[in-house]
Amino acid sequence: MKKILFMLTALIGFSVAQNIEIGTFNIEWFPCKDDGQLMKKYGIDMKYPPTGSATDVKALFEMLKDLDIELLALEEIVDTQMIADSAKKYLGEDYKYIFSPSGGTQKVGFLYDSSVLELVGQPESYDNILLRADSRLRPAFRAYFKTKPEGFDFHAIVVHLKASPRGWDQRKQQLQLLEGILAELPEETKDADIIVMGDMNNVTEAGADEFKPMLERLGFYWATQELNGLPSSYWQPNYKMARIQSSNIDQIFVSADAKIEYMENSVKVGGVCSEGAAEYTGTMPEYYEKISDHCPVYATFRADKDDD
């Protein structure tokens, strides 16, 4: 429906209020998910490989089609060709996927509707976020998008920081490097509209205080605080027990300039997270078993004009 409205606007030749949705989604080891044998085929050699099922690709893309999000930052993509081909198959030929080749097996990138958004210039990988050249961590990845025909243009940056409470020292280094990138980007590119998205893995007892000092120094808005307790993911504290509990580690940060286009209180979650359960015990949700341990997190922006 949104695509039709954009096309009609372009044909008629006058401006109407238009919105786009922008978000982040960690698609757990796509397409392996919990299939340890499939992981081995991709060269992923875990000490204790999982014994569950691979991603239900059809169910995944049926959900994405229903959500109709114009730009999604994606994390944990193992098979980049499969995600690109599946997007065209299930969402349409206008959907394109770009990614950073840097880092380990898990890739970060963007899935976007090219009938609505134009990719401007060359995307950029920030390999300093890897911390070292032979790291299996993920880089930050930036792309510059413009809403068609002449609307909101902005930098989108996807990150997937080091996991686990034990990873805090590395995550802290990554946040310091990310802050430097975000501080310099407006002057380097002459555009201060910046949206940062991804899996921040803020899993220490500090929680959001892992990244809030950076946001305060930069003047960025923590959009995902608007979830007000809704989870963005689930994790299993004890692998010997059939119990998962909720967490909030998938975030969206909006620069002061981009906040002009941002529609406050618009953040939503998809998948099982929209049910708001704090935990599940015994039988696991079908979504958790088939699609991911994370959910899409997305927000709405005005796209009909650019208030730089």
Residue 77: give its domain's CATH number. 3.60.10.10
Does a structural domain hold residue 213?
yes
Q: Does any domain span residue 307? A: no
Q: Could you tell me if residue 206 is inside a domain?
A: yes
Q: Is residue 69 part of a domain?
A: yes
Q: Is residue 37 part of a domain?
A: yes
Global pTM reads 0.94
Structural contact between residues 42 and 32, judged by C-beta atoms closer than 8 angstroms: yes
Residue 19 falls inside a structural domain: yes
For residue 181, report the phi and psi dihedrals to the nearest 5 degrees.
Answer: -60, -45
Lookup result for tokens 């109407």: 16
CB 54 within 8 A of CB 289: no
Residue 5 pLDDT: 52
Residue 217 forms part of a structural domain? yes
- Contact call for residues 115 and 106 (beta carbons, < 8 A): no
Domain containing 249 equals 2-302
* pLDDT on residue 306: 77
Question: Taking the CB of residue 308, how many other CB atoms lie within 10 A of it?
Answer: 14
Task: Per-residue pLDDT tens, the chain, 308 aa: give them.
Answer: 565 555 555 444 434 348 999 999 999 999 999 999 999 999 999 999 999 999 999 999 999 999 999 999 999 999 999 999 999 999 999 999 999 999 999 999 999 999 999 999 999 999 999 999 999 999 999 999 999 998 999 999 999 999 999 999 999 999 999 999 999 999 999 999 999 999 999 999 999 999 999 999 999 999 999 999 999 999 999 989 999 999 999 999 999 999 999 999 999 999 999 999 999 999 999 999 999 999 999 999 999 877 76
Q: Count of domains in the chain? A: 1
CB 105 within 8 A of CB 136: yes
Q: Is residue 103 part of a domain?
A: yes
